[in-house]
Every structure is written in structure tokens, then in C-alpha cells.
Amino acid sequence: MLGIDVACVLALVTEGRIRGIRVGDAGLWRIDLAGVEHYLDDQAEITRRAALWQQSQAASFPELWGHGDVRHPD
């Protein structure tokens, strides 16, 4: 689902970014599907905000206020 190796998943769990628990004598990790989905939603939101920030940095004042020369017309 994540397309990353076990060490990366364990790092995310120990950082508290994904919920997981150790079970059994072998200490196997169990990762909650809802926790993974929540993590993916958080990453999508971070990416969305970064894209909006990049767009805002590239906007010219006329694009923001609606008059004057537009730097990047659509």
C-alpha cells in the first residue's frame, strides 16, 4: 500500500506518524489500516498546501488584485 520497506514503516511507527503495536512473543508489529489511511491523508494535505504555496510565490500582484499586466496568463 505504501510502497516502502519495513524499516521505513518501523521508523514511521516509532516517530508516531503511523499507529502500530507489537504483539506476541516474537514482537511482530501490527499496523492499523485506519492509521495508514490517516497518514496518507496527512501527506496528501501537506503536498496540497506546498503546491498552493508554490503557486502563491509565482503569482504577480495584478493576478492577485485583478488589474494590470498578468505575468502568467492561462
Q: What pLDDT is stored for residue 52 in this prediction?
A: 84
Q: What pLDDT is stored for residue 66 in this prediction?
A: 62
Q: pTM to 2 decimals?
A: 0.61
One-letter-per-residue 3-state SS of 8-48: HHHHHHHCCCCCEEEECCCCEEEECHHHHHHHHHHHHHHHH
Tens-digit pLDDT profile for residues 16-74: 999 988 898 888 889 888 989 999 999 999 999 988 888 777 666 655 666 656 565 55
Domain extents in the chain: 6-56
Residue 31 contacts residue 39 (beta carbons within 8 Å):
no
Q: What pLDDT is stored for residue 69 in this prediction?
A: 62
